Structure 1
């Protein structure tokens, strides 16, 4: 299930956009994963830093990593756009990228024992991650271990493009999985899914205005609280992981051990502690690979005064 509204009229512009997306994805598929990754990276790192939206990334970097000077911030933004483009180029190849440990296109897993143990244990589980590296590789990779998971989802405005992307995701997963709309209704659907023993994946690095105020890079950041609420209610495993980019269409999935769930007797405080723990974990990963995170989100409370670092 997705957010797409079947009653929404399809405009000529939507059809043209979908035609462009289909054509670009067909080109990426035809030239193979490595050349598609290289082409997508080149296109985005050439154009992206010049777009006005890159100012959001610069503002975020000034706030989160004030130790970076202007050239260092520009390098991170360029790397970010390169990664975005590579993700797009690799997208139609996710279903066929091999699982191997060699230098060519493909993916491997560090910490696979945690997936094997969870598959043997069974029951509900929450996978948490962020928009790091090629995050689209996480669902199909985890599914190969018998743990296909559903996700929260925000559909593109164009329902034709939405259908194209959903079909590619289902192809990569090897099966259709339910997707839940962001918001209260989606949260109820996700809770029902996980209560039945389902698996749920959550990218928890975006601002959630109706979430809880946790810290992220030392600054207040509204953060989704649903993950902690569901995990503590069910006492189910929370397994963090992320995708590291090693090269063109060469990806490494890092799976970490299940988090220790707080049990201090105060439900609200336990939820805050778990939410903060996940934010701290993700911050550590981003600091190691700043160019592989999607700095374009309006992640922090932007009304705060941000002191610009000296050049």
Structure 2
């Protein structure tokens, strides 16, 4: 029923206006950066996030706090270096995600290595489901693009952004790398399971805090972690494979690493193996992980 006698905007109108304004600002900045050539755009985006945006939104302090928790003896100079390097990596990754045509070209030139390469190819040829697991490390969409270009059908699970206008823009860009994409939630999970059961591959990230997850460990601290990837692997006899798009020293190219599949055991043991795999990669490339995430929150 329409309200009468009140011309002031209601809460829904205000939320809608905020969504449009914030989305327009974010999209405008991204479009402005896309005016630069790709090889300038990626480092420029890294600099903007590291030097301007990161300090304003507290990224540097959050990196310091997480590093102090995990590495209490780390020298202050190294913490400061990473407090600047981590936002730079985030900015570079965002620029790449919003430059899908360039990301696809980069993926086509990306070498693939690791003990799991042959197993993944054999599973594809046999029509066996594959669950590719990574984290917010390097550029996680590089791996999806590489495998799609190698003939795999890869679906991705994503989380909706807070602002609807920006979310639509985001999805339109990552969809250019490959589809289908499944929105996190009951319906999206159902569609993803159906796709997996058909003998395809899905790509998941497991390094976000999940309050309903299992109290496993990550860098020696309790990290509540979703068991869903391992549970799906057991339920549908899927290959469970850690994989990573590792940024190279030039800051623009990558190596895709496909590790040996995780043996089937219990969901907890398998998921801990995934955490250990990611931890090893992060230790080798400290600046490439999302140290701004509150990974070690309590349940």
The alignment's TM-score, normalised by the length of structure 2, stands at 0.85
Alignment of 1:1-311 (within 5 A): 11-47=16-52, 48-49=54-55, 51-97=57-103, 98=105, 106-111=109-114, 112-173=117-178, 176-182=179-185, 186-246=188-248, 247-262=250-265, 270-302=266-298
Distance of 2:107 and 2:205 partners within structure 1: 25
In structure 2, relative to structure 1, the CA distance for the partners of 1:210 and 1:186 (3 Å cut) is farther
Matched-pair contact (CA < 8 Å) for 1:115–1:145: no
Tell me how many residue pairs correspond in the alignment. 282
In structure 2, relative to structure 1, the CA distance for the partners of 1:200 and 1:100 (3 Å cut) is closer
Structure scoring higher RCO (CA < 8 A, sep ≥ 6) equals 1
Aligned partner of 1:4 in structure 2 is: none
Distance of 1:272 and 1:62 partners within structure 2: 27
Cα distance, 1:158 vs structure 2: 1.2
Structure whose residues are more often helix by fraction: 2
In structure 2, relative to structure 1, the CA distance for the partners of 1:31 and 1:59 (3 Å cut) is same
Matched-pair contact (CA < 8 Å) for 1:83–1:134: no
Structure 1 runs not aligned, ≥5 long: 1-7, 263-269, 304-311
Structure 2 runs not aligned, ≥5 long: 1-11
Distance of 1:147 and 1:280 partners within structure 2: 26
In structure 2, relative to structure 1, the CA distance for the partners of 1:119 and 1:28 (3 Å cut) is farther
Distance of 1:63 and 1:23 partners within structure 2: 37
Cα distance, 1:288 vs structure 2: 0.7
Distance of 2:23 and 2:222 partners within structure 1: 38
The alignment's TM-score, normalised by the length of structure 1, stands at 0.82
